[in-house]
Chains A and B, each alone.
Chain A
Amino acid sequence: MRVEQISIFLENRAGRLAEVTRVLGKAGVNIRALSLADTSDFGILRLIVDDNDKAKAALKEQGFTVGKSNVVAVEVDDRPGGLNRILEILSKGNINVEYMYAFVQHSGENAVIIFRFDDIDAAIKRLLENNIKVLEGKTVYTM
């Protein structure tokens, strides 16, 4: 039920993001989803890729600081109010969302949202109890 996400520390300077995508491209790693959080002096790039180990090794070799964390991928009805329903469920269950971002999907009826929670187990339990579709990691890496 957990999806592995890698995160990369980036200084705010020109060309750093391109350096990451260059390294991943060269290593033959495909990016499934990404989000970039930025502050005035640094950014954190979060990625879901098709091969975490390969991506991590390639980036570390180039001197990047790479972290690994677990996130939850949730299928959301691709219609008005779809995301809101899920957020209401989480909010009523007192589950805090650290951050979230949307998945790029080519086809299908549903959208995929990636959630990062403080308490991942409680969040998964809450979502499943409310019949929300939580995707398996291997499904997400190969979507």
Chain B
Amino acid sequence: MIYDEEFETLPREALEAIQLKRLQQVVEKVYATVPFYKKAFDEKGVKPGDIRALEDLQKLPFTMKQDLRDNYPFAMFATPMENVVRIHASSGTTGKPTVVGYTRRDIDTWSDLMARTLAAAGTHKGDIVHNAYGYGLFTGGLGFHYGAERLGASVIPVSGGNTKRQVMLMKDFGATVLSCTPSYALRLGEVAAEEGVDFKSLKFRIGVCGAEPWSENMRKEIENQLGIDAVDIYGLSEIIGPGVAVECVEAKQGLHIFEDHFIPEIIDPETGEVLPYGEPGELVFTTLTKEAFPLIRYRTRDLSVLYREPCRCGRTLVRMGRVTGRSDDMLIIRGVNVFPSQIESVLMTRKDVAPYYLLIVDRKGHMDTLEVNIEVNENVFSDAVKDLQNMEREIEKDIKDLLGVSCKVRLVEPKTIQRSEGKAKRVIDKRKL
């Protein structure tokens, strides 16, 4: 089903005309209101008036995650705080999160885009949406919530955790649409089975899954085990949250990007050069309609591919392939973005351990696990087991407090973790998606 028949099926020419007009507006706006952009444009020698065609976008500078960090918390906002009605945040590369803001109209836009997303997955008025994305600073929970309400569905804001209770509610409330990370969908299936609940006998028809990379095999597993259609969604808080792109349930073949609000580009992550359709590279987005937090050519670090072939669902929007990886070292663990440097920043605050660490990420059952190996040295070593175990618990807590993801700290012998000689191996990812 297509929620916004007009804008999701525009002829290319009409769409591009809208994009250009909106691009010119947003470029004018950021140049006038965000000092970071004025400086960045001036340094590149480009003025808002130079944007006369969509191709001129390439003249503009990129925005990096580091730029958001440098302007923490609100200096990238293009509107005074009195117009900002909502703040969300996601992990930064070190201690400070990446902060995003929304005006009332941004929330309205976002709700529409999420209504489009849910509709593309097959949701309609009358559906009951069991929304197990986390509510809070993370954009997932509230993004889905507003979209489901906009669509006229009933939304159950169950958020994450307490899986047994979720199974009970799914059964008792008769939910028909499941929104959660793909790994959590499988986990729900597992726990349902443990509780003697046959997931396939529940009323679910659709799973709207995202916030972490997954594969066709995982889709098959989810669809077979839960008896639903599972579609992939894409979004990131910097761009708006979920609601940037979605697969249609008809084709399940690539994610339609809502191009009337976001212009995607694929670049070579090494050179920054824009690549033609069909070539894999790093996704870059420019927001066209956001008021509080517009971004120009934001480098997502997500690796994907864009293609223009029309889709049988009728949407004329460009599609992106599944995200296949990252062009930086960010990990997504149980839907939470984790940068290895964040672990380092936790260790640096402690005087008793060396800042050498090795992260081992695995998937046990359907849940991601994170193990942090840290070297024991004579400053911390004790002949009493409880002292070392207390230290392990303390570091686990520090990491959980900063990253919002639980981990297991394992102490290892000194000098067994590789030292940084150029590029040290900090992460072993054993997950097979």
Contact = CB atoms under 8 A, between A and B. Distances in A.
Interface stretch (B54-62, B103-111, B408-416): B408-416
Interface stretch (B122-130, B156-164, B379-387): B379-387
A142 interface: no
Given A7-B383, A44-B385, A46-B383, A66 B378 contact: yes
A70 B412 CA distance: 24
B414 to A, nearest CB: 5
A9 B415 contact: no
Contacts of B413: 9-11, 16, 63-65
Interface string B352-383: 00000000000000000000000011100111
Contacts of B412: 11, 42
Interface string B403-424: 0000000111111100000000
B153 to A, nearest CB: 46
Contacts of A69: 383
A44 B414 CA distance: 14
B388 interface: yes
Nearest to A45: B383
Interface in A82-139: 98-99, 116
A32 B173 CA distance: 68
Contacts of A39: 385, 388-389
Q: How large is the interface on A (under 10, 10 to 19, 20 to 34, 35 or more residues)?
A: 20 to 34
A37 interface: yes
A41 interface: yes
A67 interface: yes
Interface string B82-126: 000000000000000000000000000000000000000000000
A65 B383 contact: no
A9 B381 CA distance: 7
Nearest to B385: A37
B313 to A, nearest CB: 51
Contacts of B411: 9, 11, 41-42
Contacts of B388: 9, 39, 42, 44
Contacts of B382: 7, 44, 67
Contacts of A44: 382-385, 388
Q: How large is the interface on B (under 10, 10 to 19, 20 to 34, 35 or more residues)?
A: 10 to 19
B414 A5 contact: no
Contact of A63 (B389, B410, B415): B415
Nearest to A6: B383
A44 B376 CA distance: 12
Given A9-B413, A11-B412, A67 B385 contact: no
Interface string A9-34: 11100001000000000000000000
B383 A5 contact: yes
Nearest to A9: B376
Contacts of B376: 9, 42, 65
A99 B389 CA distance: 15
A99 B383 CA distance: 10
Contacts of A46: 383
Select the residue from A9, A11, A42, A66 with max chain B CB neighbours within 10 A: A9
A42 B413 CA distance: 9
A65 B381 contact: yes
Contacts of A11: 411-413, 416
Contacts of A5: 383
Contact of B381 (A16, A67, A99): A67
A116 B410 CA distance: 25
Select the residue from B383, B388, B389, B411 with max chain A CB neighbours within 10 A: B383
A96 to B, nearest CB: 11
B315 to A, nearest CB: 51
A67 B378 CA distance: 7
A73 to B, nearest CB: 15
Interface in A28-65: 37, 39, 41-42, 44, 46, 63-65
30 contacts: A7-B381, A7-B382, A7-B383, A9-B388, A9-B411, A10-B413, A16-B413, A37-B385, A39-B385, A39-B388, A41-B410, A41-B411, A42-B388, A42-B411, A44-B382, A44-B383, A44-B384, A46-B383, A63-B414, A63-B415, A64-B413, A65-B376, A65-B378, A65-B381, A65-B413, A66-B378, A67-B378, A67-B381, A67-B382, A99-B384
Interface of B: 376-378, 381-385, 388-389, 410-416
Interface of A: 5, 7, 9-11, 16, 37, 39, 41-42, 44, 46, 63-67, 69, 98-99, 116
Given A11-B412, A116-B383, 20 more contacts: A5-B383, A7-B382, A7-B383, A10-B413, A11-B411, A11-B413, A11-B416, A39-B385, A41-B411, A42-B411, A44-B383, A44-B388, A63-B413, A64-B413, A65-B377, A66-B378, A66-B381, A67-B378, A67-B381, A116-B384
Counting from the closest, the 8 A-B pairs by CB-CB distance are A7-B383, A67-B381, A9-B376, A65-B381, A69-B383, A41-B410, A37-B385, A65-B376
